[in-house]
Amino acid sequence: MPEPKTVLLFPGQGSQRVGMGADLCKASEKARKVYDKADELLGFPISKLSFEGPEEELKKTINTQPAILVHSAACLEMLGDSDLSAGGAAGHSLGEYTALIAAGALSFEDALLLVRKRGELMYKSGERRAGTMAALLGATLEQAGELCEGASGAGAVVPANINSPGQIVVSGDTAAVGKVVEVAGRFPGVKAIPLVVSGAFHSPLMEEPAAEFAEHVRNVEVREARFPVVANVSGAPVTWAEEIREALIKQLTAAVRWEDSMRWFLSHEYGPFIEIGPGKVLTGMMRRIDRKAAALATDTLEGLEKVLSRAPQPQK
C-alpha cells in the first residue's frame, strides 16, 4: 500500500471563539467524553468556558491554550470514526501539542496539563515584563528583520511567526514593538497591525518561563511519533522522543517557522492538508503558501462532516 500523505494541521492561540465545541458535543458522544475528561483533569469546566464564555476569560492565555487543544482533540476523536490515515502533522505554536497527540507521541492527558502549565507561565511572564506582538502584512523576512534591528534601541524585538508570504509577526518589549509599528510604513505596501496578546511569545522575553517549563516537559512521557511531526523551531520533521522534547522547550523562545514547515511537506509531495480545530487560519495561510495545495478546515460540525464524507469509511 502507498504511504499515507494526508497532513493534519492544528491551530494555535488566536483561533478561539465563544461557542466552539458546543455543536460537536451535541452530535458526538466521543466529543463529549473529551470535554468531560478535560474538565476533570483541569479541575474547572473548560467546556462551559468554551461553549458560553465570557469572551474576556476565554481570551486569557492561561485558558485559551487548553481550550483550543481540547477542541482540536475532540475533532480528532470524531475523525477516528473514519479510515482517514495521516502521514504527517504540524501545529502552530500550542497546536504542536495536538499534532503530537495525533502522532501518538503525547497522551491527551499529558498534553493538556502541559499546555495548561505553558499558558500559566506565559501569562505570568507577561505580567512581570510587559511585552506584545504585531503582524506585518506585505513584509519580507528581511524587511521584518531590518525593522526589528532599527527598533532595538527601545528594547528587544524579533520576528516571531514566519507564517506565509507577506505575513510575519514580530514580538518583544512593548516600546520596541510600538516602534516597529510606527515606522513599518516606510517600506511600500507594508502594514503593521498591533495584536491583542498578554505577552511577547516566541521571543527572548520568554526565557524565564521556558526554563521553568523545561522541567515539566522533561517529566512527561514522550514516545516515538508514528509519523513525522514537523517542528515549529526548525521547519523539519521530528519523530524521536528526545528531539520532540527539545523542540517543545525551544519553542517558547524561538520563532514559529510555519511557512518552512508547510514547504517541507509540499516538497515531499504530502497532501491534502486538514485543519483540525477552531477557525480556518491555517487553511488561509496554506492558500498564500501554495494555492494549488488542497486544504480543508474542520472548525464546525459541518466542516467536520465534509471531511468525514470524503474519507474512506471503516470496514464493518
Position 43 scores a pLDDT of: 97
Q: Which is catalytic among the residues 15, 92, 202, 261?
A: 202
pLDDT string in tens for the chain (316-residue length): 567 799 999 999 989 999 999 999 999 999 999 999 999 999 999 999 999 999 999 999 999 999 999 999 999 999 875 657 889 999 999 999 999 999 999 999 999 999 999 999 999 988 888 899 999 999 999 999 999 999 999 999 999 999 999 999 999 999 999 999 999 999 999 999 999 888 999 999 999 999 999 999 999 999 999 999 999 999 999 999 999 999 999 999 999 999 999 999 999 999 999 999 999 999 999 999 999 999 988 877 887 887 777 654 443 3
Of the options 3.30.70.250, 3.40.30.10, 3.30.9.100, 3.90.650.10, the CATH number for the domain spanning 131-198 = 3.30.70.250
Other C-beta atoms lying within 10 Å of the C-beta of residue 208: 16
Is residue 74 exposed (0-12), middle (13-18) or buried (19+ Cβ within 10 Å)? buried
> How many residues would you count in the chain?
316
The backbone torsions φ and ψ at residue 21, rounded to the nearest 5 degrees and listed phi first, read: 90, -15
Position 313 scores a pLDDT of: 45
Whose CA is closest to 93, among 245, 253, 265, 293? 253
Q: Which is catalytic among the residues 47, 50, 72, 93?
A: 93
Contact 39, 69 (CB under 8 A): no
CA distance 90 to 275: 10
Mention every residue, 6+ apart, whose C-beta is less than 8 A from residue 149: none
Position 305 scores a pLDDT of: 81
Enter the C-alpha cell of residue 266. Answer: 509540499
Global confidence as pTM: 0.94
User: Residue ranges per domain, the chain?
Assistant: 6-126+205-310, 131-198
202 is catalytic: yes
Position 130 scores a pLDDT of: 85
CATH number of the structural domain 6-126+205-310: 3.40.366.10
